Amino acid sequence: MSAKIIDGKAFAADVRGRVAEQVARLKADHGITPGLAVVLVGEDPASQVYVRNKGKQTVEAGMTSFEHKLGDTTPEADLLALVEKLNADPAVHGILVQLPLPDHIDEAKVLATIDPAKDVDGFHISNVGLLATGQKALVPCTPLGCLMMLRDHHGSLSGLNAVVVGRSNIVGKPMAQLLLRDSCTVTIAHSRTKDLAAVCRGADILVAAVGRPQMIPGDWVKPGATVIDVGINRIPAPEKGEGKTRLVGDVDFDSAVEVAGAITPVPGGVGPMTIACLLANTLTACCRAAGLPEPEGLTA
Ligand code: NDP
């Protein structure tokens, strides 16, 4: 059997299209344009590419993009003052401070300063608590993207056994909360889990968010299970030439695709959904700020 490949690129394009439609309606009916502010501190090349892509896709969705690029020696107090200014700006509905921040800046302090209603990354402790208690929150983008793909594939997730491998605050834990909210029976596995293979084999839904290349082989996958591979790992690819690399996930795709019912590839699976969900969260934050109904099919 060969699994259905879940095309994250196409799915993300569809999400962005739906966001753009609802943004156009918001403008036409209410004269409101959602705005996303992205703050980048320092010169990290990967972050620069990521921020550029975010800005481009924000504008393509019909939203306003505000970019703030600060030098890597920017004092923490200046960054906090900028966040406060964005909190107070009614044209800004979403604020994202690109991580990681330089060592002299306290990341937790910065995230805590963002207005929870504008926290489109969903990392503020208020949003974490709201999600954990089943209330309306802004939810971290990567797990939200995984949830959308799972709902699309399964319809209802109720009663399914879900195993999330990884317990980070940005992927594993919120993913588990979201699956629980959709009435899955959820197991969170991590580096101390005993007999991880057996735990994974019990999963109808297996989410891998570990950061270890191809760690989960096909024989850990229950036949017919849905596999969501969040991992992004770069490994040597001598077949492409000396010094070349390629991206792989945390799942050994070639063996897992033979067993699973559906699987996300790397690249082209979960990755593209992250920015699409950032746009969805910005639209959601904007609708909530204006007291309007939330965008349909774009929230947790
Ligand atoms: P973290 O390093 O923060 O967390 C990794 C988790 O994996 C930890 O909970 C750790 O357990 C667990 N783990 C490590 N080794 C093992 C093991 N041998 N067996 C079982 N569990 C293990 O990573 P992130 O959550 O930030 O990211 C995970 C992956 O997802 C990375 O590859 C990252 O690049 C990717 N990612 C992709 C995104 C996207 O847009 N597609 C967005 C964010 C991340 P413990 O807690 O016990 O140490």
Could you read off the pLDDT of 189-236 as tens digits, one per residue? 999 999 999 999 999 999 999 999 999 999 999 999 999 999 999 999
Q: Stretch 240-252: mean pLDDT, rounded?
A: 96
pLDDT number for residue 264: 98
CATH number of 30-120: 3.40.50.10860
98 given a catalytic annotation: yes
54 given a catalytic annotation: yes
pLDDT number for residue 27: 97
Task: Give the pair of three-digit tokens for residue 59.
Answer: 């504008």
pLDDT number for residue 82: 98
Could you read off the pLDDT of 125-177 as tens digits, one per residue? 999 999 999 999 999 999 999 999 999 999 999 999 999 999 999 999 999 99
Question: CB under 8 Å to 282, separation ≥6 — which residues?
Answer: 34, 35, 36, 58, 63, 93, 94, 120
pLDDT number for residue 11: 98
Q: Is 234 in the pocket of ligand 1 (CB under 6 A)?
A: no
Closest of 228, 216, 231 to residue 261, by C-alpha: 228
Percent of the chain with pLDDT over 90: 99
Closest of 116, 187, 178 to residue 148, by C-alpha: 178
pLDDT number for residue 247: 97
Q: Is 275 in the pocket of ligand 1 (CB under 6 A)?
A: no
CATH number of 141-272: 3.40.50.720
Q: Is 228 in contact with 256 (CB distance < 8 Å)?
A: no
- Domain regions of the chain by residue span: 30-120, 141-272
Which entry of 98, 173, 182, 229 is annotated as an active-site residue?
A: 98
106 given a catalytic annotation: no
What distance in Å separates the CA atoms of residue 120 and residue 117, rounded to the nearest whole number?
8
Question: CB under 8 Å to 202, separation ≥6 — which residues?
Answer: 161, 163, 187, 222
What distance in Å separates the CA atoms of residue 268 and residue 246, rounded to the nearest whole number?
13
What distance in Å separates the CA atoms of residue 24 and residue 61, rounded to the nearest whole number?
9
Give CA 128 to chain center in angstroms: 14
Q: Is 173 in the pocket of ligand 1 (CB under 6 A)?
A: no
**CA–centroid distance, residue 251 to ligand 1 (Å):** 12
pLDDT of 1 > 70? The answer is no
Could you read off the pLDDT of 61-95 as tens digits, one per residue? 999 999 999 999 999 999 999 999 999 999 999 99
Say whether 141-272 and 30-120 share the same fold: yes
Could you read off the pLDDT of 4-46 as tens digits, one per residue? 999 999 999 999 999 999 999 999 999 999 999 999 999 999 8
* CA distance readout (Å), 246 to 69, 237, 241: 30, 6, 11
